[in-house]
Structure 1
Amino acid sequence: MVKKVSLNTNHRDEMIDVTKAVRDYVDSTGVESGVVYIYCAHTTAGITINENADPDVKHDMLMRLDEVYPWTHEKYRHAEGNSASHLKASTVGPSQMVIIEEGKLILGTWQGIYFCEFDGPRSRNFYLKVIEG
């Protein structure tokens, strides 16, 4: 079964920790061993795993993505004016997979799962799918 998770973003660029939502869903399935897929079906947002202890990491990541992919560039051709958000989303990627063992997500001590908004604020969704095995 696929679970749809809805959220609202508040800024043009932000990283929202969704680890608890993923963990809660995995717990609800009762699966002891397998994987969970976290998938974002948007072209201007993505999913990543990174440090969740120091908020400066999120700041630094978003700052550097803005430097690499500035919001405006004289050579951008996309009519909607959000080429940077598409580039950021492609760089981060649309999905992650996390191993489940003994009913728990296998994440490093400082790791969290993030929904990455690059064209907000918006109402967004991401999807979770647990595969037992």
Structure 2
Amino acid sequence: MIELELATRQREEMINITGMVREELKKHGVQDGICYVFVPHTTAGVTINENADSDVKRDILSGFKAMVPDIPYRHVEGNSDAHIKASLVGACVSVFVEKGELVLGTWQGIYFCEFDGPRRRKVYLKFIKAS
């Protein structure tokens, strides 16, 4: 298992980690298989989405704020909205690896989604080689 570290800078942000994942893929020399990307946090997640237009990230975060407003919830830490958003996004994505490359669509990127920052965060990767 590979551990990546991130430092988020805002309460809510989406960080494109595709390059970091590709770098680790090259280091480990996997040619064919699957890459699992897992976020071990309850107020952050990971998703695959548009990587060409930064307005999409802003729109996604705005949409989450509209769906899950920061209102007084019962949880004493005051970050229940972040827990809800993380649950909606999810903690894991999987990406096929073929000929040493991540199989992503033309406009797709892998994003770490922060909902309770700024913080130091971890992302775990696991490459499973096809037999």
Under a length normalisation based on structure 1, what TM-score does the superposition of the two structures give? 0.96
**One-letter identity of the residue aligned with 2:75:** H
Equivalent position to 1:84, from 69, 78, 81: 81
Quote the residue 1:95 is aligned against.
92
Runs of 4+ residues over 4 Å off in structure 1:
none
- SS at 1:38's partner residue? strand
2:106 corresponds to 1:109: yes
Listed as ranges, the matches of 1:1-133 within 5 Å are: 2-73=1-72, 76-133=73-130
> What value does the CA root-mean-square deviation take over the aligned residues?
0.6
- Kindly provide the CA deviation profile for residues 82-131 of structure 1, in whole angstroms up to 9, marking residues without a partner as x: 00000000000001000000010000000000000000000111100000
In structure 1, stretches of 5+ residues that fail to align are none
For the residue of structure 2 that corresponds to 1:87, the secondary structure is helix
Percentage identity across paired residues of the two chains: 53
Aligned residues: 130
Shift of 1:71: 1.2
Q: Which amino acid aligns with 2:114?
A: E
